[in-house]
């Protein structure tokens, strides 16, 4: 019994140490956002809000891009996962394996093919160049497909006796069962797209179409006092998403 208590004690200490390790950079960023010229001040926030006007455009670009990409990718992922799990067509297993392989590929491998495709479609230097490729990200499809394996398929079979519309089956039978998984996937997708850097820098040439993450990549263009406050504000949307849907995230990763 004592050994078990010691094991739980060591586990708790390890988890607390890991939490502190991950929170230290956040605390340092928050501290430096209030430190200007060696003293505690709100001058950095004042300069960011009243003198750094590109911040507003980049911030709202990040919000719009991330929202559109998350909504579009969730829609595509739910429909694709439904097809992979319930539909019957030749080469389904091979195609699904390709999805998994594509998901495991690093972003840098896909940059050049995406760039060539966007160039041929004449979408470079447009907001669509950032939004369209990420809508078809395979990660959401793979996660939702795996979650569907634990759903009640009898409900779907019963619904098929009542209607031939696959869309109605998805809306009324599938979505209620995978709601927590969809929320978890949406949180992952939003965090990933909110933090994207390469796509805005490579696919568009104008700062007016770039995201807030691009501001930190071109830090030399801005006064050093505005960067820590901008970094603090950069963390807030993802933190709010997590606080709103952390229960769904925990439930969605159980299967």
Taking the C-alpha atoms of residue 92 and residue 87, their distance in angstroms, rounded to an integer, is 9
Evaluate if residue 195 carries a pLDDT over 60. Answer: yes
Per-residue pLDDT band at 159 (split at 50, 70, 90): confident
Cβ proximity of 62 and 194 under 8 Å = yes
Q: What are the structural domains, with CATH classification, of the chain?
A: 54-252 (1.10.3720.10)
The angle subtended at Cα 35 by Cα 33 and Cα 37, nearest 5°, is: 130
Average predicted confidence (pLDDT) for the chain: 84
The band of 249, judged by pLDDT with boundaries at 50, 70 and 90, is low
pLDDT at position 113: 87
Which of 205, 201, 211 minimizes the C-alpha distance to 54?
Answer: 211
What confidence category does residue 44 fall into, taking pLDDT thresholds of 50, 70 and 90?
A: confident
CA distance 212 to 69: 16
- Which residues, 6+ apart, have CB-to-CB distance to 200 below 8 Å? 130, 209, 210, 211, 213, 214
pLDDT of 70 reads 93
| Cα gap 33→27, rounded to integer Å | 10
pLDDT at 76 exceeding the cut of 80: yes
CA-to-CA separations, 43 to 15, 39, 59, 137, 235, in angstroms, rounded:
37, 10, 20, 41, 20
Strand, helix or coil for residue 36: strand
SS3 state at 225: coil
| Count of positions (residues) in the chain | 255
Copy the structure tokens of residue 30.
């928050």
Give the model confidence (pLDDT) of 205-248 as tens digits: 888 888 988 888 877 888 888 888 888 888 888 888 888 777 76
Separation in Å, CA 200 to CA 29, 53, 62, 143: 24, 18, 10, 26
Residue 2 has pLDDT above 60, yes or no: no
Mean pLDDT along residues 49-53: 87
**Phi, psi dihedrals of residue 39, rounded to the nearest 5°:** -140, 160
């Amino acid at each position: 019994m004592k050994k078990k208590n010691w094991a739980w004690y060591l586990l708790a200490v390890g988890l607390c140490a890991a939490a502190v390790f991950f929170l230290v950079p956040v605390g340092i960023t928050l501290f430096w956002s209030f430190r200007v010229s060696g003293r505690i001040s709100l001058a950095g926030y004042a300069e960011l809000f009243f003198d750094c006007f590109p911040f507003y455009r980049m911030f709202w670009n990040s919000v719009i891009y991330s929202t559109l990409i998350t909504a579009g990718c969730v829609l595509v992922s739910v429909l694709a996962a439904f097809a992979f799990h319930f539909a019957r067509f030749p080469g389904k297993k091979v195609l699904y394996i390709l999805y998994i392989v594509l998901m495991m590929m690093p972003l840098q491998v896909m940059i050049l093919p995406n760039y060539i495709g966007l160039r041929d479609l004449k979408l470079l230097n447009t907001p669509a160049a950032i939004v369209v490729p990420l809508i078809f990200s395979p990660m959401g499809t793979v996660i939702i497909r795996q979650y569907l394996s634990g759903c009640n398929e009898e409900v779907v079979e019963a619904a098929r006796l009542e209607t031939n519309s696959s869309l109605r089956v998805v809306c009324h039978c599938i979505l209620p069962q995978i709601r927590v998984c969809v929320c978890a996937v949406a949180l992952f997708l939003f965090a990933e797209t909110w933090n994207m850097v390469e796509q805005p820098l490579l696919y568009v040439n104008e700062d007016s179409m770039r995201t807030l993450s691009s501001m930190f990549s071109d830090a030399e263009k801005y006064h050093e006092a505005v960067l820590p406050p901008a970094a603090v504000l950069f963390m807030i949307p993802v933190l709010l998403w997590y606080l709103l849907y952390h229960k769904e995230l925990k439930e969605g990763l159980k299967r």
